[in-house]
Structure 1
Amino acid sequence: MFEHLFTTKLVGKGTGLGLAIARQIIVEKHAGTLVVNSTFGQGSEFEITLPIGN
């Protein structure tokens, strides 16, 4: 899901970049975490944690 160009949309209806870019910014640039909790038929919850800077 966090892979570059991953999408569940039809061809031409999305780039598949959103979560890959979000992961890059949160995890790689800011040393945070990005976790998804999903329950089929109920929805998904995204948890973003960023460290506190000094």
Structure 2
Amino acid sequence: MCDHLFTTKGVGKGTGLGLAIARQIVVEKHSDILEVNSALGQGAEFLITIPVKTIKSR
């Protein structure tokens, strides 16, 4: 999932970087979770899990 420069679009119709960039931000930078559920011909569901973190006050 989210291979760099992968696209199903024709030449000049986009770069296909959207999911790769989303993965970099969500997973690599913030250590959160990005999941996808898909079925051919039915679409896809993207789940982003961002844990609530409490910050201790002084």
Please, what TM-score do these two structures have when normalized by structure 2? 0.82
- What is the alpha-carbon distance in structure 1 between the residues aligned to residue 42 and residue 48 of structure 2? 20
Greater Rg by CA = 2
Runs of 5+ consecutive residues of structure 2 not aligned to the other structure: none
Q: Which runs of 4+ in 1 moved over 4 A?
A: none
How high is the TM-score relative to the length of structure 1?
0.87
Identity %: 70
Unaligned residue ranges in structure 1 (runs of 5+): none
Query: In structure 2, the residue corresponding to 1:21 is in which secondary structure?
Result: helix
